[in-house]
Structure 1
Amino acid sequence: MLYGICNLSIVPLRAEESNQSEMTSQLLFGEAFEVIEKQKEWSKIRLTFDNYEGFIDNKQYTEITEDFYLKLKTEKQYFSGEMIDFITNNKNELTTIPLGANLPFYNAGKLQINSELYIYEGAVLSEEKSKNKIAQTAFNYLNTPFLWGGKTPFGIDCSGFTQMVYKLCGYKLLRDANQQATQGEVLSFIEESEAGDLAFFDNEEGEIIHVGIILSDYHIIHAHGKVRIDTLDHSGIFNAELQKHTHKLRIIKKMI
């Protein structure tokens, strides 16, 4: 088995081995993965964090040894807490990193990929946070434009948004909304929910296609056009600007 790690700021994960293929997700700096199949220009990979699979350009990652990979899996996880920042290597070259980027083997401002050492002087996140911090963390992404497959403050989709907010608070969610809906504990009514719980929404075929984070006082923050705050009721999400419901409520789940 081959292993790799993202050593660039933000790298697209694609549905097929082509730059024209749909971007299904993104890798942020420091994210590790298994290489399922390596071809001439593309590799099919499985991300360590959530087991999500897709194709990545071979020019946009670096291979790591099995020993490095296994140590990385067991090490305490550290993430960048800055909206955007940079790291420097021993050649004094800069690499930008976004909010939620991984910091492999972080220790006292230093991190490492293979034999290359980096310096990072920004805020670091590493601990599980209390549930009441989830909504507060979500506000960091307010007004971020919607981007299918996105996971950063410069473009994010609905499930990327919920996954990243939970990640920054120290919890793991799967990547897609329908996958996240298999996690957690079902709540019967909105009245039972707390800020930080997740609400899921379906289409006419009954497929879960959207997710958002419940706030207090019957509001929800979610990525729809942009990360925005709307009203939540028993029917779904009500958009006051459009004066209509935009999403049909399917289920509410308590994740922590």
Structure 2
Amino acid sequence: MLDRRLHAFRPDLADVALKGQVEAARFVTPEPAMVVQPVVALRPKADPSIGIDTELLMGEEVRVFERENGWAWVQAVDDGYVGYLPEATLGGVTTATHVVAVPRTFVYSGPDLRFPTRLALSMGSRLTIIGEAETRGTRYFLLADGGALVARHLRPVSDPPAIDYVSVAAFFLETPYLWGGKSGFGIDCSGLVQLAMRMAGLRAPRDSDMQASGLGVPIERNELRRGDLVFWKGHVAIMEDETSMIHANGHTMSVARETLDAAIERIGWLYGTPTGYRRPVAET
């Protein structure tokens, strides 16, 4: 059985790439589109009252299978996640030149930190920069609509990625925990792993069960070192060194540091002991 989180198929409609693998009344070739709002919830149904599966950030590309009643049924290009989002959050595909490289930043109405802000963007958001300006010694990058961002908050997409994804994850300490979140405004355990790794040029599946079964290679607890992952049922943490870890968790409702021993003792009464340990590998 194909995973519906990663394959677009319903009884009435399916991705043409799945023809011969699933049954559907109609198969369609998806159309390309791009997220044009800062953070967009992706849901398992076209219903704003239900919980989210994940989030997409500004500049992320999707494949659109259906547009109906103000909703779009899409698949994210980056990680293959399938779901529904408001159609109004999508626009045409453009070529990104820069990516937000700090946890959060603002789009100002012009190149001046005293100007009103238009948007707040998360790390990982992708933008097309058309120029630059300087005001009172601060350099700004400019957008086609006149918006401006502090230049030091962005990096060109052509630049080498971050070297150490654990250091990227540490930028998110104290960020609020959000089920399904994948941004600097709210993030969950597997979203933290995925976003931090993406900023370091590494690919990671979205959900913790996907990461536990296919991200990197399995190792033993006594082999743990910086950058390794520890899994519980429905949870993942990033090791900072042999004994301490960073994770987005529902206990502190934030991204927090904790020793592995303390986490195992605290989590054990409800979720049991760790189900596995894995070492990510460079799969770009």
**Counterpart position of 2:203:** 172
Superposed CA RMSD in Å reads 2.8
**Counterpart position of 1:83:** 103
Q: Does 1:237 align with 2:268?
A: no
1:228 pairs with one of 227, 243, 256: 256
1:95 pairs with one of 119, 126, 134: 119
- Measured after TM superposition, the shift of residue 124 of structure 1 is 2.4
- What letter corresponds to residue 204 of structure 2 in structure 1? L
Distance 1:94 1:6 in 2: 17
Please say if residues 228 and 277 of structure 2, whose CA atoms lie closer than 8 Å, have aligned partners that are also in contact: yes
1:8-43: per-residue Cα shift (whole Å, max 9, x none)?
A: 111111110011122111111111110022212111
The 1:36–1:248 alpha-carbon spacing in structure 2 relative to 1, beyond 3 Å, is: farther
Distance 1:249 1:106 in 2: 48
Distance 1:180 1:243 in 2: 21
TM-score, with normalisation over the residues of structure 1?
A: 0.78
Q: Secondary structure at the match of 1:238?
A: helix
Distance 2:270 2:173 in 1: 20
Q: Does 1:124 align with 2:157?
A: no
1:36-115 matches, within 5 Å, as 36-64=65-93, 72=95, 78-87=98-107, 94-104=118-128, 109=141
Distance 1:18 1:36 in 2: 17
- Measured after TM superposition, the shift of residue 142 of structure 1 is 1.1
Distance 1:53 1:119 in 2: 32
Distance 2:243 2:79 in 1: 30
1:206-237: per-residue Cα shift (whole Å, max 9, x none)?
A: xxx1111012141121111221122224x962
1:194 pairs with one of 215, 218, 225: 225
Distance 2:119 2:147 in 1: 10
Please say if residues 10 and 26 of structure 1, whose CA atoms lie closer than 8 Å, have aligned partners that are also in contact: yes
Comparing both chains, which one has the higher relative contact order based on Cα–Cα distances under 8 Å and sequence gaps of 6 or more? 1
Distance 1:107 1:213 in 2: 38
Q: Does 1:184 align with 2:216?
A: yes
Work out the number of aligned pairs and report it: 231
Unaligned runs of 5+ in 1: 203-208
Q: Secondary structure at the match of 2:47?
A: coil
Q: Does 1:248 align with 2:268?
A: no
Please say if residues 225 and 242 of structure 2, whose CA atoms lie closer than 8 Å, have aligned partners that are also in contact: no
Which structure has the greater CA radius of gyration?
A: 2
Distance 2:102 2:161 in 1: 17
**Counterpart position of 1:205:** none
Please say if residues 128 and 170 of structure 1, whose CA atoms lie closer than 8 Å, have aligned partners that are also in contact: yes
Distance 1:176 1:107 in 2: 37
Distance 1:249 1:179 in 2: 16
The 1:33–1:198 alpha-carbon spacing in structure 2 relative to 1, beyond 3 Å, is: same
Unaligned runs of 5+ in 2: 1-29, 133-140
TM-score, with normalisation over the residues of structure 2?
A: 0.71
